[in-house]
Chains A and B, each alone.
Chain A
Amino acid sequence: DIQMTQSPPSLSASLGDKVTITCQASQNINKYIAWYQQKPGKAPRLLIRYTSTLESGTPSRFSGSGSGRDYSFSISNVESEDIASYYCLQYDNLPTFGGGTKLELK
């Protein structure tokens, strides 16, 4: 099984900041990574697929990059509606999620 190590587990940011979350896979996942946003009590929402492709409706302040084993997800100009938990998912093999990152307001 492919393990996904996501960091940091939590993140504190001010409105307007840029934040970055990373996921490292236990092996090459060939850019098959997606990123999800989850707000309390809600189902996850797909934001990005295939490393950097934004889903319809995902604001342009969200971005993703990476290759091989190492991937990152960024939010530029954090807005209040971005306060949530974020998860990476690798789908190169049977799907596995990263442990999640909780984004809070400073």
Chain B
Amino acid sequence: EVQLVESGGGLVQPGRSLKLSCAASGFTFSNYYMAWVRQAPKKGLEWVATISTSGSRTYYPDSVKGRFTISRDNAKSSLYLQMNSLKSEDTATYYCARHVATTYWYFDFWGPGTMVTVSS
């Protein structure tokens, strides 16, 4: 059974940093592109980052480019999101998600999410 479990969320002050983790199991992690998707309270879904199977290629929307860094450790079947210079508008539930294939970038499995609150 595919499982994705996020951790590392919490309350953080504006301008500070936070690192999220996602533990994957039930599939060959190194064969899949992985992503982070977020959802602000009572708002819609926003794709935040994607990483290739080897980790050599990363992709971001303009809203987080230069502040967020996605990475992975295939030996540990783990995905990470380093978030720097956090802003109040980064407050959201962050989901770890699996891309279905390298050429088709929709998401087939999601974790339950971890909440990040950016506030002083």
Interface residues of A (CB under 8 A from B): 1, 32, 34, 36, 38, 42-46, 49, 55, 87, 89, 91, 94-100
Contacts and interface: CB of A to CB of B under 8 A. Distances in A.
A87 B106 CA distance: 12
Interface of B: 35, 44-47, 50, 59, 61-62, 95, 100, 104-108, 110-113
A46 B106 contact: yes
Given A94-B59, A94-B61, A43 B113 contact: yes
Given A1-B61, A43-B95, A43-B113, A97 B46 contact: yes
Contacts, number: 54
Contact of A46 (B35, B50, B59, B108): B108
Contacts of A38: 45
8 contacts: A36-B45, A43-B113, A44-B95, A87-B44, A91-B105, A94-B105, A95-B107, A100-B45
Main DSSP-derived SS at the A contact region? loop
B111 A43 contact: yes
A95 B106 contact: yes
Given A43-B113, A44-B110, A96-B47, 7 more contacts: A1-B62, A43-B112, A46-B108, A49-B100, A87-B44, A95-B35, A95-B50
A97 B104 contact: no
B105 A95 contact: yes
B56 to A, nearest CB: 17
Contact of B44 (A32, A42, A97): A97
Contacts of B108: 46, 55
Contacts of A97: 44-47
